[in-house]
Amino acid sequence: MVVFPPVKINLGLYVTKRREDGFHNIESIFVPVAFTDVLEVVENDRDEFRLFMSGLPVPGDADSNLVRKAYDILNEQFALPGVDCYLHKIVPTGAGLGGGSSDGAFMLRLLKAKFDLPISNEQLMKHAATLGSDCPFFIQDSACNVKGRGEILEPAGFSLRNKWIVLINPGIHVSTRQAFGLIEPNTAPSGWMEKLISAPYTAWQELAVNDFEAPVKRLYPEIADILESLKKAGAFYVSMTGSGSTCYGIFHQSPDVGFDFPENYLIKLVKGI
């Protein structure tokens, strides 16, 4: 069985509180985007889990990978058969796109479907929350308003399915720890999610801000250059996503201009989900 874990972009990202457990509370709108890894699971007769990875390199060893941890969670509950897991990485790590979180969440979903496990999506979301803050979102298939450390979700009531999105990653790794060290938590604007969802697209740029964007731009001027290029190409909303360094622009139609960036930049034209 093969699945294609997508990424997410953040429409607005406010860091509102530093928690006693070491995490931070946030407010954001997560939107799934059709830029995916490839994940396959095949049952084996060895009664063990084996992970085979290809594509882009992934930091850390196999035992720390979220797909392994997802298998271990459900194996403890359901005594699963052994499996061979094939993960082909297309989404760069540390890019603010949630690629690793999506892999872990989709592993939970894949195992549920493959082995017809008697577990609800609500239970899967609780398991996903133990994997990482962004993981519960990827049990969903639509845009969500997100609060807490990422585990409090409610449907946002809109979709970017008919919009084009340009993702540009300059190959800069911004660690989560580094990014949070650059900002001071503060209260998000009151009612900003509801205002954005009901507002015309032309107003989005003034209604949703990523708290990480300004300090990361100061460290890496390339981010500012990317965002300006997306604006000039006609995007009605541009932002850095997550803690960076991927930037995106949302377009009503596929942009008919190219982007003149170094060859190591990853540039993808995709649709919303």
Task: List active site positions.
Answer: 8, 134
Write out the two tokens for 234: 């006609």
Short-list 26, 23, 13, CA closest to 239: 13
CA distance 108 to 69: 10
Residue 249 to residues 89, 96, 204, 270, Cα–Cα distance (Å):
23, 15, 12, 11
